[in-house]
Amino acid sequence: MTDAAPVAARALVKRYGKLVAVDNVDLTVELAGFVEGPRFYPYLSGRRNLRLLADLDGDGAKSRIEEVLELVELRDRADDKVGGYSHGMRQRLGIASSLLSPSGRRAFPRTRSARSG
């Protein structure tokens, strides 16, 4: 069950059979997000995992790695293997990976894990 109130759509726009806009909100923009338990290569460091993802994103994502590591307070542990990270640290690395996206649009679902505090 979500906390969001339902929204009535007055206008739907389809392009080539696909829904692309609702009430003039463009649905074709890129959206970055993560799940509650993001998965990374456990035998690689947090920094190396982010580099791999940045290579896929392109658009200067690699230049943001240090910035996002600092933002999620993982810079001091960035060179440790992800396999040694706590659940919360993996979640923060997931947030960092979402922040690498050049789109500027992020989705951060609320965590409902008892382990996250």
Domain that holds residue 42: 30-116
Give the pLDDT score at 111. 47
Whether 80 shows a pLDDT value over 60: the answer reads yes
Q: Which residue has the higher pLDDT, 109 or 50?
A: 50
What is the average per-residue pLDDT within 7-28?
55
What is the average per-residue pLDDT within 47-60?
88
What is the average per-residue pLDDT within 44-58?
91
Count of domains for the chain: 1
DSSP states of 67-79: HHHHHTT-GGGTT
Confidence of residue 116 (pLDDT cuts 50, 70, 90): very low
Report if residue 24 sits inside a domain. Answer: no
Report if residue 99 sits inside a domain. Answer: yes
Report if residue 58 sits inside a domain. Answer: yes
Strand stretches in the chain, DSSP E: 12-15, 18-22, 25-26, 32-33, 106-107
